[in-house]
Amino acid sequence: MAGLLQKELGVLEKSYYEASVVRAPLCAPLQESMAVDVCVIGAGYAGLSCALELARMGYTVALLEAHRIGWGASGRNGGQALVGFGAEGEHAIETQCPREVARAAWDASIDGMRLLRQRIGDYGIDCDYISGYLTLALRKRKSEALRRWVEHMARVYDYPLQWLDRAQIAGHLNSDRFVSGAYDAGSGHLHPLKYCLGLAAAARRAGVRLFENTAAFRLERGREPVVKTAEGEVRCRYVVLAGNVYLGEFGDELAPELRGRIMPVGTYMVATEPMGQARADALMPGRAAASDNNLVLDYFRLSADHRLLFGAGETYSAKAPRNLVERMRVRMTDVFPQTGDLGVEFAWGGFVDITMNRAPDLGRLGNNIYYVQGFSGHGLVFAGMAGKLMADSIAGETSRFEVFNRIRHRRFPGGAMLRAPGLVLGMWYYKLRDLL
């Protein structure tokens, strides 16, 4: 029954992250008919965060995950914990919404970072968090755009980013590829799967009933919705859809209204063999995470055990690229030629959920079905916050969630068909925008 996206991911499931965690025993699949207050679908950051908050407020919660916890983007990502929605996302919000709404959205993202740091502390989540993030420009034109963005962040959001010229970049990373950069002390990076599993452990301790290998394949709507799985069902008052790009890949389309509003874009990562502390310190002395400011971008950072983790957008097809390791190695050595002798021990990939305007897509279908999606490569921090905003909204505090209802989202050209052939076209569209 698995859809196209899952088949592709199956090929690339062995990530460095999976290899560096010890998972708790499998949560048994749902094999009963049960009744709860809220049924959450999807155990990534959004679903786990929402379930955790609701359970803390006294709601009974069932959380259904089609695979294992963190199987989706939350267990595979670049680990870059970023405030905000990226320059494009912010621009979309600012042009569509009044100033105070844009400010409220930004403040929610700052609170998202606060929430992440607080949870790491409160729940003792050991996930190698390190502060510092660099945005880097490859060309003069990109540098000018970066400069404008730094000024904009200071003027509109009072958010300080430190401008770096070529010489100052050397204090952060040993590469002569970039012409300028911006340093963000308020963002950082972490081991994404350790963080995700930590959230799941906290949710379980708070009373959430978690079911792995349990795909929701049908949703019967109404005053008391029913979520059907292969061997059971959940009756509830509210449903939370946090299935990201995979949501409609099992049986019935759970929410056809959402189809085509996000596009899955394949992005891939490699992890080198450990290079030892001295060499890692020489490569990226500040240990900040980094990415360039292209739309289809390269992103990289060091792991706690001194590997280079390097990610890049794949622009040609939804299929896992052939010669993935070689292609990634070329991009990695373009940035860091001195890593050419390092072995690549892991290669994996996933799909980023991109909206047309790159702002997140949060909303409600009727009175009792909530959804969040479309984090557009900025979900590590904000998906968790979106989960909390949904929980607060279910509990009656709707105002902060509704800020995001003000953002209009369009379907990608090709709508429902885009997940198959149109995907290739969409990827070329982004690549072309970077090149022009």
CB of residue 381 to ligand FAD, shortest distance in Å: 6
Which residue lies nearer to ligand FAD by CB, 134 or 383?
383
Q: 363 in helix, strand or coil?
A: strand
Residue 172 CB, nearest distance to ligand FAD (Å)? 17
* Contact residues for ligand FAD, defined by CB under 6 A: 41-47, 64-67, 71-74, 76-80, 82, 215-216, 242-244, 246-247, 250, 254, 267, 269, 299, 311, 349-352, 375, 377-380, 383
Is there a contact between 374 and 354 (Cβ–Cβ < 8 Å)? yes
Instruction: Give which of 379, 390, 297, 316 is closest to 75, Cα–Cα.
Output: 379
Q: Write the DSSP assignment of 148-178 as a string of letters.
A: HHHHHHHHHH----EEEEHHHHTTT---S--
Residue nearest to ligand FAD (CB): 379
> Is the CB of 146 or the CB of 390 nearer to ligand FAD?
390
123 or 279: whose CB is closer to ligand FAD?
A: 123
CB closer to ligand FAD out of 277 and 405:
405
Residue 167 Cβ vs ligand FAD, minimum distance, rounded to whole Å? 27
The smaller minimum CB distance to ligand FAD, of residues 164 and 309, is found at 309
User: Of the two residues 242 and 280, which places its CB atom closer to ligand FAD in the complex?
Assistant: 242
The residue with tokens 């992005």 is 267
User: Shortest distance, CB of residue 322 to ligand FAD, whole angstroms?
Assistant: 18
CA distance 196 to 122: 14
Give least dist CB 229 to ligand FAD, A.
8
Long-range interactions of 52-59: CB distance < 8 A, separation 24+: 52/199, 52/202, 52/203, 52/206, 52/208, 52/387, 53/387, 53/388, 53/391, 53/392, 54/208, 54/391, 54/394, 54/395, 55/203, 55/206, 55/207, 55/208, 56/206, 57/391, 57/395, 59/394, 59/395
Whole-number minimum distance, CB 211 to ligand FAD, in Å? 9
